[in-house]
Chain A
Amino acid sequence: MKKNFSEMLTLNSLKIGYASGSHENVLLPPLNACANKGELIAVIGRNGIGKSTLLRTLTGLQPSLGGEIFYSGKNIRDYSRMDLAQKVGYISTEIVKVSNMSVYDLVALGRFPHTNWMGKIDTKNHEVIMDAIEKTAMSAFCNRFVSELSDGERQRAMIARILAQDTGIMVMDEPTAFLDIGSKYEILHLMHLLSQNSDKTIIFSTHDLHMAISQSDKIWLILDNRLMEGAPEDLMIEGAFDHLFDSSSVQFNSENGTFSFRSEEKGRIFIEGDEIRRHWTEKAINRAGFSLSEVKTIPYIIIPSGNNREWKLTTDISSVEFRSIYELVSFLSKEDILSI
């Protein structure tokens, strides 16, 4: 997939926050970032740092307190509300609760900046709406009421609405926050497809770091003192994600992009056996406070293979068999096997 690297959105020393009277409450130091066409960008930061405020400021729903936002090289201040609505679409965390509103009607609202004063849906508008519904796989739900949809279906309908709005940029505030794990990946997959195939620039906030790292083209990492941007891998190499955690008990594993709790190491165990079972057994002993030994020393575990269906733990003094990882870990947690 060849991407056109034209710059869609640029933030130039942007100051975000709230102004009440003459008092300005600036949330973050001036932000600099950019977004190119067709990029899937994850906005990451701790709760309350100003992710939502940033996204609302980008969509023009909230005035910035300084600096500039450029859409396709033109300052956001020079756009009328209608023109801006054709540049950027928005999905908030607010759950839409309107009964008697069909999915079609909801998606049709996305045509707002494109219809006449009456909001007339002519053939062309109808086609765009149906196309958006199709792209989000909501065709079967076209005449269903929004209030009857599941969380995942409703979110797909909301994405169809923003698609119908026909904006180059889509801003989504925690689009997967309240979804179950299946819908979560479905929505993420849809966002991925839209950025890949329809050249949409999607900027979304999320708390799911693992998901953001594995799927997004770029991450805007909001820290207390700056915004770091780059491919997930770039940020990983720089160790940027460590800044997300104040506490020293959680550590980020730069190798595979996962987190673990730092705990005192109880000892090393060697594991012998095939790939998958060894992988999960390793995870389990990690949780119990042990790490993997590279060379075959005592204690060691022989994992099930062939006729042997049991995990066999051999220590200095004894050899114990377990029917499941659960039993093995229970034993490891309780017994102080290394000091025996």
Chain B
Amino acid sequence: MKTENQIETAHVLSSGKQQKLFFAGLLFLVVCFLILDIFLGSVSIKASDVIKAIFTNTESNFETIILKFRLPKAITALTVGIALSLSGLQMQTVFRNPMAGPDVLGISSGASLGVAFVILGFSANISPDSLKGLGNWILVAASWIGAGAVMILIMFISSRVKDIMTILILGIMLSSGISAIVIIMQYFSNETMLKAYVIWTMGSLGNLTSSQLNVLLICVSVGVLLSLFSAKMLNALLLGENYAGSIGLNVRLARIVIFACTSIMAGSVTAFCGPIGFIGIAVPHIARILFKTSDHKILIPGTILTGGAVMLASDIISQLPGSDSVLPVNAVTSLIGIPVVIWVILRNRKYSGLF
């Protein structure tokens, strides 16, 4: 609903009509992919049975598959797509770096470290299975802290180093360093904890319990709401901190709000679904190509819809419709995201523009 308000309030240029068309098209795609994602899967169920399972109470096997597995998974995919894409958009603007994204600059690694601390470290007395209820929140909070700490570190670096490529390389170093710490922690942890952690790193949209899905939905909703508040700040930050300050933005406050928003969204997703690559960096660029604007009042809803559609599509592809095997969703998102990222790098060599 919020996205529609956004369209209304966005100022209309000559390209305004085209933008509305794209919003409608994307919304249509999201709905289509959401339905397809529920209808298609490794167990083939007839369309009529799917509808029956959703709207009637038959207590069949199909109903269990649809309601307990496919529907939550589709909702998770949608949520994850929105959260990662939005945090990618915010990071790219704040860092003024087209290569920024939760997975690229080590934000996801930071979140992983937080998760590793919980699964491998503090839960020595508790079995990993007992991570329910409050446990979910502890896991998420650890992930937020890890992501937030890396964000602040990268911000500190990028205030000193202006070169995009240098920051990128430092981000990769940071990721590697964090991985090294995680490996050491793995080395000293016992078999059950290790197994729980390794399963988590594989990343999955389908392993969430309903209470975990609730926590994820709450966190991402908070993140999306905060991001709507941040549209004006992000627009100001496009010109860099000096200009943003000179037109009246409290740069420090803006950074805190945006970092909190990004850490909450990227952190929560990473906590429950594992590190999912390339959505956060690629989707904002797709939205920019489609909407041809730098205005976040349009880019934010655009990125939300594009991110949801792309992640749902990835999930559909990962189930390999027609066969009973399932691909890791991480592989699919990478294959979709990498060409976009390569395109952005090549384009950036030609033009001096940052985005």
Given A90-B242, A119-B235, A126-B11, the answer on whether A100 and B249 have CB atoms closer than 8 Å is no
Q: Is A109 an interface residue (CB 8 A)?
A: yes
Could you tell me if A61 and B245 are in contact, using CB atoms closer than 8 angstroms?
yes
Choose from B13, B14, B249, B354 the contact partner of A98 (Cβ within 8 Å).
B354
Chain A residues within 8 Å of B209, by CB: none
Chain A residues within 8 Å of B13, by CB: 102, 104, 143
Could you tell me if A98 and B247 are in contact, using CB atoms closer than 8 angstroms?
no
Given A102-B13, A126-B11, the answer on whether A119 and B297 have CB atoms closer than 8 Å is yes
For residue B303, give the distance in angstroms from its CB to the closest CB of chain A: 13
A41-49, A78-86, A285-293 - interface stretch: A78-86
For residue B16, give the distance in angstroms from its CB to the closest CB of chain A: 11
Q: Is B132 an interface residue (CB 8 A)?
A: no
Tally of contact residues, B, Cβ under 8 A: 33
* Assembly CA distance A143 to B19 (angstroms): 14
* Assembly CA distance A94 to B246 (angstroms): 13
Q: Is A113 an interface residue (CB 8 A)?
A: yes
Chain B 51-71, CB-CB to A under 8 Å as 1, else 0, gives 000000000000000000000
* Assembly CA distance A96 to B354 (angstroms): 9
Q: Considering the complex, give the chain A residue whose CB is closest to the CB of B14.
A: A143
For residue A170, give the distance in angstroms from its CB to the closest CB of chain B: 11
Could you tell me if A118 and B243 are in contact, using CB atoms closer than 8 angstroms?
no
Chain B 10-35, CB-CB to A under 8 Å as 1, else 0, gives 01011100000000000000000000
Could you tell me if B11 and A112 are in contact, using CB atoms closer than 8 angstroms?
no
Q: Is A147 an interface residue (CB 8 A)?
A: yes
Could you tell me if B239 and A98 are in contact, using CB atoms closer than 8 angstroms?
yes
Could you tell me if B11 and A98 are in contact, using CB atoms closer than 8 angstroms?
no
Main secondary structure of the interface of A (DSSP, over half): loop
Could you tell me if A121 and B11 are in contact, using CB atoms closer than 8 angstroms?
yes
Given A105-B293, A117-B229, the answer on whether A143 and B15 have CB atoms closer than 8 Å is yes
Chain A residues within 8 Å of B273, by CB: none
Q: Considering the complex, give the chain B residue whose CB is closest to the CB of A116.
A: B232
Chain B residues within 8 Å of A96, by CB: 239-240, 243
Q: Considering the complex, give the chain B residue whose CB is closest to the CB of A113.
A: B248
Chain B residues within 8 Å of A100, by CB: 288, 292-294, 353, 355
Could you tell me if A118 and B297 are in contact, using CB atoms closer than 8 angstroms?
yes
For residue A51, give the distance in angstroms from its CB to the closest CB of chain B: 15
* Assembly CA distance A241 to B245 (angstroms): 34
Could you tell me if A97 and B353 are in contact, using CB atoms closer than 8 angstroms?
yes
For residue A136, give the distance in angstroms from its CB to the closest CB of chain B: 17
Given contacts A97-B353, A104-B11, A109-B236, 19 further A-B contacts (CB under 8 A): A60-B245, A84-B248, A90-B243, A92-B243, A96-B240, A97-B352, A98-B355, A101-B294, A105-B293, A106-B239, A109-B235, A109-B239, A109-B247, A112-B248, A118-B232, A121-B11, A126-B11, A143-B13, A147-B351
A: residues with CB less than 8 A from B are 56, 59-61, 81-82, 84-86, 88-90, 92, 94, 96-102, 104-106, 108-110, 112-113, 115, 117-121, 126, 143, 147, 165
